[in-house]
Amino acid sequence: MGVDINEVSETLKISSEYLLSIENDLFDKLPVAVYTVGYIRCYAKYLEIDAGPVIANFTSHLASPKPSTIIPVSSFRRKVPLYVYAILLLLAALSVIAYYSFAGKNQTSGSEVEKAGPSVKRENITPAVTSVLNSAPVQKPEVKNSEAQEQSLPAVAGGDEHQLGITASDTAWVRIRFEDGKQEEMTLRSGESKNWKFGGPAVLKIGNAGGINLKFDGKDLGVQGEPGKVVDLTLPQS
């Protein structure tokens, strides 16, 4: 399309080497899939093209090795020692144990919050997300307390829900996962904003921490990291 890769890299805060690898289908030179999909979406939105075919090409590359790299089954069985399979099974078992241990800790933390009584400011956790609010893009992202933003986050009676608002001051990729397993993924440009109202905790991943400003339950949390940094954040914070 005639765009300058270095200019795109500076705007999107994505390495020019990654952008060139996406352009030339050099997927082996790209990072893990979750970041690469975010980069592809962000780059496609910048170019105003559909990211779907590019992502499909990338994911098919992950699912199917190139014909030149396929090893005959008989040769593979001769060369791979049995202890390799044992190690893989052990790693799988450890992953399952770690997952259930983490889930158990989360349940324990929720019980402690309920026992803490009125002195604990954290709101009651409900099992499902009640609604998702979409707000229109703002004209000036630096005006964080404008009347339009205040109206997009109405007060919730009873204190059973959380309110989260994000405003982009720079192009950034964002993914949010709610307690019931639902999640949303998007790329915001400077001046765009997004609001949610939900029950229970939510896990937020920001691809450009320095380009996102957070407002949670009426409190301005500001930015959560340096420009270009990937940040994981759980709200409400413990």
The neighbouring-strand residues paired with 163 are: 197
* Residue appearing with tokens 């954290």: 122
In 61-182 the beta strands, taken as DSSP E runs, fall at 162-168, 172-178
* pLDDT averaged over every residue in the chain: 75
Q: pLDDT-derived band of residue 144, with 50, 70 and 90 as boundaries?
A: very low
Here the tokens at position 129 are 């997300």
Q: Using one digit for the tens of pLDDT, what is the confidence trace for 183-192?
A: 999 999 999 9
Query: Residue type for 142, please?
Result: E
Question: Domain boundaries in the chain?
Answer: 5-63, 73-119, 147-235
Work out the average pLDDT over 152-157: 39
pTM value is 0.34
Supply the pLDDT for residue 110: 59
b/e code 113-136 from CB counts within 10 Å (16+ = b): beeeeeeeeebebeeebeeeeebe
> Are the beta carbons of 22 and 47 closer than 8 angstroms?
no
Supply the pLDDT for residue 74: 47
Work out the average pLDDT over 1-16: 87
The neighbouring-strand residues paired with 175 are: 185, 205
Q: Using one digit for the tens of pLDDT, what is the confidence trace for 174-213?
A: 999 998 889 999 999 999 999 999 888 999 899 888 888 9
Correct CATH for 147-235 of 2.40.50, 2.60.40, 3.30.70, 2.115.10:
2.60.40
